[in-house]
Structure 1
């Protein structure tokens, strides 16, 4: 079953425009979710807005947005005023320029989406732009009004389509300088640096998202299954307390352990290759 498009519009480059659809690149729908219940009755409860002073529930038609301009003083914004202030939505992602794929720091990445052409009219144009970007190894920087907000969008070629990331605005991204401001400058040289490099070499790998487990969600799912089946709920063992050890001693032990692990991985690969060769001969 094809995924449902979350947005449809046009991709525009200069005078060239063609229809596209946006599909959510990530979802939380498969996570374990809960409802809030009344412990006494077992019934679901619902949320409602309550007046802070009177304690009475406020009907939806009486609810209005307000901006706090001072202590307990608010500027009321009517729905039509908010709607009129939102940038005009022409349902178009306008490509402003092309930049190197690695030029945008990942801290600016917000939400991922997939972009595909809709209908036969724009398929060729879409393919030409995508393939040109791939050959030049560039990303497209564009602007659009998405879901009632003006957004900057970064588009990159991905297989037969494009992957897009909405970008955080500069004022939304915190400065790394502020976070690292109090870290001292330490000059690392000699055996300590050599050991660190060795550990990194022995721990080289590849990014495989399938290898990462959502242990929190798995634990919740197992908890639910155990209660449904009336099984005893086994509590996980508490993690061992982390001990502070001598840095050089820890690096040496890590390098030794990493070397053994690397040898095991290589032996496993050789064994797998040999088995594969035997199967081919047998065939």
Structure 2
């Protein structure tokens, strides 16, 4: 069994439930070490003072906050400790909200919440089932690893799931990041109706096990082949061929393709008036898509 990453209690009203948090997810990224080409020797990073070749010992390193003028305000660890959040072992749920009202952009990392002992199981089950009945999720604060987190707690089957969240001021406004976002437009009804029909045709039941990290699988296959001494032939990718066609025609053909009765629609799709480019529908059959 996994070890908990945090132990404490959840409180709502005057009820306190002893709980433990367990990581609900794990990274499956393929990691590599940096090696010197030709010798295969491991390359390691050193902490070097800027403008010198002098390596700095870890105990001689302090923290500095860079200001807009480019200067640094040096802050000691003792000074940071003085404003560190209290090491509270309680998650106090004071607000309950509808989880479907929370934009997924706010969610960071998820943890399973479990009762800390058998004595806590009844109260834990009561909270879980009450939240299911109400259709609500709890919003609270959590201090973990010397950082204060905003969290949402929601029921999922037999377990409560806690997700750390971004604060509102950490969410960037899209128009501050992206140029050229189209606003409200008076779209031709035929285009819109056909696009909706295509989306509905491609809709399916959410089954996460259908989707695989095919790039990771290919990287692991490549590593395995090289470990067996196989020479890897690197081929240049083919350049895509543009095929400019009518937007509605492309949507209609995509619908037929989704039904399995038409050949794939290739290339770039544009409006007759040269409007915004729109990609043709996925050429992977419904239910066999990969991320």
TM over 0.5: yes
> Structure 1 stretch 149-158 or stretch 210-219: which is displaced more?
210-219
Query: How far apart in 1 are the matches of 2:235 and 2:122?
Result: 55
If each structure's helix is expressed as a fraction of its own residues, which one has the higher value? 1
Note if contact 1:117-1:123 (Cα within 8 Å) is conserved in structure 2. Answer: yes
- Structure 1's unaligned 5+ residue stretches are 263-283
* 1:256/1:153 CA distance change after superposition, 3 Å: same
Query: How far apart in 1 are the matches of 2:63 and 2:124?
Result: 41
Note if contact 2:3-2:22 (Cα within 8 Å) is conserved in structure 1. Answer: yes
**Mapped pair 1:187 → 2:180:** no
- Structure 2's unaligned 5+ residue stretches are 263-291
Q: How much does 1:63 deviate?
A: 0.5
Secondary structure at the counterpart of residue 260 of structure 1: coil
Q: How much does 1:261 deviate?
A: 6.0
* 1:76/1:219 CA distance change after superposition, 3 Å: same
Partner of 2:159: 161
Partner of 1:256: 256
Secondary structure at the counterpart of residue 142 of structure 1: strand
Q: How much does 1:71 deviate?
A: 4.2
Partner of 1:103: 101
TM-score (norm 1): 0.84
Secondary structure at the counterpart of residue 11 of structure 2: strand
Note if contact 1:18-1:121 (Cα within 8 Å) is conserved in structure 2. Answer: no
Once the two structures are superposed, the pairs formed by residues 41-120 of structure 1 within 5 Å of their partners are: 41-69=39-67, 71-120=69-118
Once the two structures are superposed, the pairs formed by residues 5-20 of structure 1 within 5 Å of their partners are: 5-20=4-19
**Mapped pair 1:213 → 2:212:** yes
* 1:62/1:21 CA distance change after superposition, 3 Å: same
Partner of 1:23: 22
Q: How much does 1:205 deviate?
A: 0.6
Note if contact 2:11-2:93 (Cα within 8 Å) is conserved in structure 1. Answer: yes
Query: How far apart in 1 are the matches of 2:255 and 2:148?
Result: 50
Once the two structures are superposed, the pairs formed by residues 236-275 of structure 1 within 5 Å of their partners are: 238=237, 241=240, 243=242, 244-260=244-260
Note if contact 2:175-2:181 (Cα within 8 Å) is conserved in structure 1. Answer: no
Secondary structure at the counterpart of residue 122 of structure 1: helix
Query: How far apart in 2 are the matches of 1:261 and 1:4?
Result: 52
Note if contact 1:143-1:152 (Cα within 8 Å) is conserved in structure 2. Answer: yes
Once the two structures are superposed, the pairs formed by residues 113-192 of structure 1 within 5 Å of their partners are: 113-178=111-176, 179=178, 182-192=181-191
Note if contact 1:11-1:95 (Cα within 8 Å) is conserved in structure 2. Answer: yes
* 1:23/1:261 CA distance change after superposition, 3 Å: farther
Q: How much does 1:259 deviate?
A: 2.8
Note if contact 1:111-1:166 (Cα within 8 Å) is conserved in structure 2. Answer: yes
* 1:221/1:120 CA distance change after superposition, 3 Å: same
Q: How much does 1:156 deviate?
A: 0.4
1:1-46 deviations in whole A, cap 9, x for unaligned?
x222111111111222122111112111x33211122334323232
Partner of 1:3: 2
Secondary structure at the counterpart of residue 43 of structure 1: coil
Q: How much does 1:234 deviate?
A: 4.5
